[in-house]
Amino acid sequence: MTAPADWAEQILSCKDDENLTQILSDQEESIKIYKKATDQLTAFNDFSTARFTQIQRHLETHTKLIKEIKNDLDAAFLKIRVLKQHCQERHPAEHEKALERYPPRVVEDD
């Protein structure tokens, strides 16, 4: 005999109405608990979805800003390099004196 059939046989063999009433009561209580848990999980999922959407927009805005700042910095450093090269070509002696007095910093990449 299979487990469900065995269980059904045991339930049907219970002639006591009090036992059957208790089983039905327990089942109804279980359904209430599961429905409440489902409602809570649904509310949490809705909240999480709304919060994720909000944070995603915020992150996209910041990412765009960081990319713009990087492009601005790249353009500024390019202009500085061009100016340094131009000064070196026009005034090599003064450029050497400036490098001796203010040596370039060594920046380590991470």
The tens digit of pLDDT for each residue in 39-78 reads 999 999 999 999 999 999 999 999 999 999 999 999 999 9
How much is the pTM?
0.54
Contact by Cβ (8 Å): 63, 71: no
| Mean pLDDT to the nearest integer, 82-107 | 90
pLDDT in tens, 8-42: 777 777 667 777 788 889 999 999 999 999 999 99
Residue 98: other Cβ atoms inside 10 A: 14
| Number of residues in the chain | 110
Contact by Cβ (8 Å): 1, 9: yes
